[in-house]
Amino acid sequence: MLTDLFTPSVQHSLDLAGIFVFAISGALLAVRKNFDVFGMAVLAEATALGGGLIRDLIIGAVPPAAFTDLGYFITPLVATVIVFFLHPEVERITKAVNAFDAAGLGLFCVAGTVKAHSHGLGLTFAATLGLTTAVGGGVLRDVLAHEVPNLLRWDRDLYAVPAMVGSTMAALLIHYDALNVTTSMISAATAFVLRLLAMRYNWRAPRAWHRRSAATEDPATGSGAV
């Protein structure tokens, strides 16, 4: 497990950092949707903890970590308070927030893969839950906000694919008994860099082959998983 690779304090700090930046994105979406402070808190909590909660319930790690560590619950509320009072300033540093979000994506996809495998899942399903850990909260956020989830929209930069790459790398490292602090961070960094490049160069996943439609494409209903 990652707890065997990092000291408990370092692992806890990494978890809280990822939770915080995911919570910021949830609270910002709530502001854009004109939600009240309670709605902001709900979206922040769902975004930050949703992926890990789904993973823990699937692997039977109950009660989930989100309900056993007060820091995990409080951190999204802190993010909510910051966005509540300073959302114009936070919006102005969206690029920085997106960069931290990419870092959280990388950390969570690796951590989720390793935790799932440590609870007895095969490598394929462990990597799948690593992906779920990284993107599950964002899906819950979008559903609660009545949005088409970003990773299902053709007009969004690659998000799930970088997490998938990081999860797969972690699974392969486990298979070859090569997972350690250095290699786990390389896996997380790979997902992080791929996400940054996708944002920088607007990389998107391909849609259906030979798709022939003269109709104007509607971003809200377009297809294609990213």
Q: Where are the domains of the chain?
A: 2-201
C-alpha distance from residue 98 to each of 21, 126, 164 (Å)? 8, 26, 18
Is residue 41 pLDDT above 50, yes or no? yes
Residue 1, pLDDT > 70, answer no
Cβ neighbours of 101 (radius 10 Å): 22
Got the DSSP string for the chain? Answer: -HHHHS-HHHHHHHHHHHHHHHHHHHHHHHHHTT--HHHHHHHHHHHHHHHHHHHHHHHT--S-GGGT-HHHHHHHHHHHHHHHHHHHHHHHTHHHHHHHHHHHHHHHHHHHHHHHHHTT--HHHHHHHHHHHHHHHHHHHHHHTT---GGG-TTS---HHHHHHHHHHHHHHHHTT--SHHHHHHHHHHHHHHHHHHHHHT-----STT----SPP-TTT-----
Confidence at residue 224, expressed as pLDDT on a 0 to 100 scale:
47
Q: In the chain, what's the furthest Cα-to-Cα distance?
A: 56
**In the chain, % of residues over pLDDT 90:** 73
Label residue 88 by pLDDT band (50, 70, 90): very high
Give pLDDT, residue 97.
Answer: 86
- The pLDDT, as a whole number, for residue 115 is 93
Q: What are the CA-CA distances from residue 195 to residues 70, 161, 223 (Å)?
A: 30, 8, 20
With cut-offs at 50, 70 and 90, classify the pLDDT of residue 111: very high
Q: Is the pLDDT of residue 209 over 90?
A: no
Per-residue confidence band for 179, with pLDDT thresholds at 50, 70 and 90: very high
- Picking from 95, 96, 72, 88, the residue whose alpha carbon sits closest to that of residue 23 is 72
Q: Are 136 and 54 within 8 A, CB to CB?
A: yes
> Can you tell me the distance from the alpha carbon of 153 to that of 108, in angstroms, rounded to the nearest whole number?
22
Q: What is the pLDDT of residues 120-140, one digit of tens each?
A: 999 999 999 999 999 999 999
